Amino acid sequence: MRVRFPQLAIVLAGLASAGCAERALHTLTLSGSTSLQPLAEKWAEAYQSHHPGLAIAVQGGGSTAGVQAALSGAAQIGLSSRALTSVELRDVRAIQVARDGIAVVVHPSNPLDDLSLDAVKCIYSGSIKDWRQLQGPPKAITLITREEGSGTRAAFESLVMSKLSISSSALVQDSTGAVRQMVSSDPAAIGYISIGLVDASVKALRLSGVAATEANIDRGAYPLVRPFLFALHGEPNAQTRGFISWVSGPEGRELVRREGMLPATQEGSDARR
Amino acid sequence: MRVADKTVERTLGLIALSSILVLVSITFFIFKEGAPFVYRIGLGNFFSTEWHPTAQRYGISYMIVGTAAVTAGALVFGVPLGIACAVVLGEMAGQTTRTLLKPAIEILAGIPSVVFGFIGISLVLPWIREHLGGPGASGLAGALILGVMILPTIIAISLDALRAVPRSYREASLAIGATEWQTIWRVVLPAARSGIVAAVILGIGRAVGETMAVVMVTGNAVQLPHSPLDPVRTLTANLALEMAYASGDHRAGLFATGIVLFVVIVGLNTIAALVRTRLARPARRRHRWRLTVAEQEPERIEPAVTP
Amino acid sequence: MSARLFTPVRAQLVARAVLWSMMSLALGILALVLWFVLRRGLAHIDWAFVSTAPLDSGRGGGIFPILVGTLEVTLLGVATAAPLGIGTAIYLAEYTKEGRLTRAIRFGSECLAGVPSIIIGLFGFVLFVTTLRLGWSILAGALTLALMTLPLVIRTSEEALKSVPTAYREVALSLGASKWQTMLGVVLPAALPGIFTGLILGLGRAIGETAALIFTAGSSLPHQLPRSLLDGTRTLSIHFYQLAREGISADHAYATAAVLVLAISFINLSSSFAMHRFMRRYG
């Protein structure tokens, strides 16, 4: 009656191996970017209502973690909100599933409406420390950034910072929602989040006169655009392929628009072939 | 059930050893992942002040400072408050008040750290920002939240320590005409000193190991704080923020951070164990009031289970 | 009395005032925490919330699969820790004398109790999720939780066993029972209430765990009930964390927190109460 350790180990091993086969049939795991997570969850929810036998799990962790999960097999699809590096592209294939802009946001009470890209760079590198230097109120700027493995941060760094690094006195938050929450409660804060997640609690700045809207991204006028990618390692199984083609199809694209992002460009989504 | 006693004893011994095996494997695992890394990049780099994994800089000094600052602040808030509550609960409260108050402490102990973190974000950060300045997310916020989180630990273990002081000590003190406070301050607290120190040390351990709440309220900036209102990053926050995606050297660096944490915790536990055994005995001889009665083994009141 | 400013009687009054006000401060903090969570949260808890699946990333619907997932992870975790912990406790309490071995085991157990939960979570991630290829699953989460509750189970089981009067053992042995028969037939049943409440206490602790479970059970939102132990899930505290941090739904976040706090409080209070009843019966 007493469950002894060796017996327990055998039982667990049995459970593990028994479950493995079953799991491969009915679970699809996506893992990675927190910016892509809400959209991926919407896709998952809609897709699962059409395919009740399939369970889709959407994990977070950040773009880099997502690509690694795809590589290690922990996830079938890695979610990335930045272009993959050359090292990653050696083992992983990328399919563009949406496009998203990065909005630079401030508190709604902030008198500024417009900033140049250069000014944003100076703020984030630490050369501009006070709103007063930008004709704003005399308050020290509270810099908010994402953690280092974030796709949003990587995209921001390559599009805005170029060679400069973000100041080490910036507050680091671990998800887009957290950045938005911080900015919405601190009148002196500035942060960057996915355009699709901008809501009434923060104000998105115009960059050199260009507003952060989908129309401007489509036209190519807004500079901060990054791809949302599915990262795949090896040959995807039937469920994965089915999901990906649904996502690239009209229903998937419609969902993207509803979330405030842009559907993938035609060349991007053709890469799945 | 006719199982030979020897077999049973051996099996149980194996089970007991497997518990140690768990601890040993975690230790082994952390060191295996992290130690070669420290050896490779050198202690100089590891304890330098720049944490830029992309540039091969893995200095954790500022984060050690962050952990130390937030923990010290937590002690400043939590220890006096905790000991005071333990004194009230153990010495001054009547039976009915005690039955009402003890569950309150247990409820406080059970509240998850993410809830504390969220309360920190919603209430503490704006308050600090408006009344004290700075971005709100700061070492001070971390210290306040942690102080509240270690309260139940300190209260529970201090209560045990106070309860272990023999009744005869108090009775003798009161019999000579000392007031309740004089008894508490000069007889009971010194006699319970080893247990209270152990409580504080365990509180430190809890504060050092806390992750979720500090990630939410301290701002996670890798910098040297010049005031309590500056954001800081603790060692645990660093692990939480970066572990999910770190690979290769970066990951080894995080495990090395884990080694530091682990060493600190084991060190604290060792000190707590030593304190409990060594300090307990001399305390009996050092208190101010010389009691002629209790030179024999005092009756040990069985300590209740600490939550 | 005398002409001193701080007569013992005055010092006594001041001390009492200060100490009681500090106690009130602590109680005030607790009240603030509970008020913050329950004020908004209780209003949004209803039967629909507890029994339906989440919709729209958690903005709508309820938390039923999350509740079930949380229960599965925590119960399995405690159930895994139980045989190991109780076995160790029996060994420490009954089969050994106080010596270097027992002190080593106890020291190891205390150290394990002090290891930050995130490190155990990482250990679990590398061992269970990656190396054993369990993936982000209930099983991985449960095994990790087992590691964390092990010290608590050892400690409370040992206390429960020690509270059983020696007379019980002596009588059984004098009747000719072997040590193991005494253990199984007399001591264990007597200590069982205490051991059980210790397990419940561990359960209460496990439900509030967040950091370790994000890495092992995962953070994906379940839309249906888990079908096997290898399905991932999101526990209550992780769900609260996501809802609150991402700003998905403040109402549901508070409601989830309220469910959490109420559940944990209930578990902790009832097990402590039962534990004290048990100790008083034997101690």
Which residues from chain C sit within 8 angstroms of residue B307, using beta carbons?
A: 201, 268, 272
List the 193-222 stretch of C: residues with Cβ below 8 A of B: 198, 201, 204-205, 207-211, 215
Length of chain C counted residue by residue: 283
Does any CB of chain A come closer than 8 Å to the CB of residue C219?
yes
Mutate to test the interface with A, among C220, C228, C238 (most CBs of A within 10 A): C220
Does any CB of chain A come closer than 8 Å to the CB of residue C53?
no
Residue C6: give the domain boundaries: 2-44
Does any CB of chain B come closer than 8 Å to the CB of residue C117?
yes
Which residues from chain C sit within 8 angstroms of residue B246, using beta carbons?
A: none
| The predicted structure's pLDDT at residue A272 | 40
Does any CB of chain A come closer than 8 Å to the CB of residue C238?
no
Question: Are C198 and C79 contained in the same domain?
Answer: yes
The Cα of C46 is separated from the nearest Cα of chain A by a number of Å equal to 23
The Cα of A163 is separated from the nearest Cα of chain C by a number of Å equal to 30
At C222, the amino acid letter reads P
Question: Are C119 and C28 contained in the same domain?
Answer: no
pLDDT in tens, C70-99: 999 999 999 999 999 998 888 888 877 777
Question: Are C10 and C146 contained in the same domain?
Answer: no
pLDDT in tens, C238-276: 999 888 887 778 888 899 999 999 988 888 888 877 777
Which residues from chain A sit within 8 angstroms of residue B246, using beta carbons?
A: 149
| The predicted structure's pLDDT at residue A10 | 52
Backbone angles phi, psi at A105, to 5 degrees: -120, 150
Question: Are C102 and C161 contained in the same domain?
Answer: yes
Does any CB of chain C come closer than 8 Å to the CB of residue B175?
no
Residue B3 lies inside a defined structural domain of this protein: no
Backbone angles phi, psi at B178, to 5 degrees: -75, 150
Question: Are C24 and C72 contained in the same domain?
Answer: no
> Which of B44-53, B231-240, C44-53, C227-236 shows the lowest mean pLDDT across its residues?
B44-53
Question: Are C222 and C261 contained in the same domain?
Answer: yes
The backbone region for B208, taken as left when phi is positive above 0, alpha when psi lies in -120 to 50, beta otherwise, is: alpha
Residue B87: give the domain boundaries: 24-287
pLDDT in tens, B229-258: 999 999 999 888 887 777 777 788 888 888
Question: Are C146 and C170 contained in the same domain?
Answer: yes
Beta-carbon separation of C36 and B119 below 8 A: yes
> For residue B203, what is the domain's CATH number?
1.10.3720.10
Q: How many domains does chain B have?
A: 1
Does any CB of chain C come closer than 8 Å to the CB of residue B94?
no
Question: Are C40 and C57 contained in the same domain?
Answer: no
> For residue C188, what is the domain's CATH number?
1.10.3720.10
Task: Give yes or no for residue C30 having a pLDDT over 90.
Answer: yes
Length of chain B counted residue by residue: 307
Selection from A124, A106, A194 nearest residue A152 by Cα: A194
Residue B69 lies inside a defined structural domain of this protein: yes
C-beta of residue A79 within 8 angstroms of C-beta of residue A194 = no
Residue predicted with more confidence, B100 or C281: B100
Which residues from chain C sit within 8 angstroms of residue A55, using beta carbons?
A: 222-224, 227, 231
Q: How many domains does chain C have?
A: 2
| The predicted structure's pLDDT at residue B306 | 46
Question: Are C276 and C143 contained in the same domain?
Answer: yes
| The predicted structure's pLDDT at residue B299 | 45
Beta-carbon separation of C220 and A72 below 8 A: no
List the 119-148 stretch of C: residues with Cβ below 8 A of B: 119-120, 122-123, 125-127, 147
User: Mapped to the 3 state alphabet, what secondary structure does chain C carry?
Assistant: CCCCCCCHHHHHHHHHHHHHHHHHHHHHHHHHHHHHHHHHHHHHCCHHHHHCCEEHHHCEECCHHHHHHHHHHHHHHHHHHHHHHHHHHHHHHHHCCCCHHHHHHHHHHHHHHHCCHHHHHHHHHHHHHHHCCCCCCHHHHHHHHHHHHHHHHHHHHHHHHHHCCHHHHHHHHHCCCCHHHHHHHHHHHHHHHHHHHHHHHHHHHHHCCCHHHHHHCCCCCCCCCCCCCCCCCCCHHHHHHHHHHHCCCHHHHHHHHHHHHHHHHHHHHHHHHHHHHHHHHHC
**And the tokens for B177?**
């005409």
pLDDT in tens, B84-132: 999 999 888 888 888 888 888 888 888 999 999 999 998 999 999 989 9
Question: Are C17 and C74 contained in the same domain?
Answer: no
The Cα of C273 is separated from the nearest Cα of chain B by a number of Å equal to 9
Question: Are C33 and C122 contained in the same domain?
Answer: no
Question: DSSP labels for B168-192?
Answer: HHHHHHHHTT--HHHHIIIIIHHHT
Which residues from chain C sit within 8 angstroms of residue A42, using beta carbons?
A: 56-57
Q: Write the ipTM.
A: 0.86
| The predicted structure's pLDDT at residue B302 | 42
Residue B130 lies inside a defined structural domain of this protein: yes
**Residues in chain A with pLDDT < 50?**
1-3, 14, 16-25, 269-273
pTM for the predicted model, two decimal places:
0.85
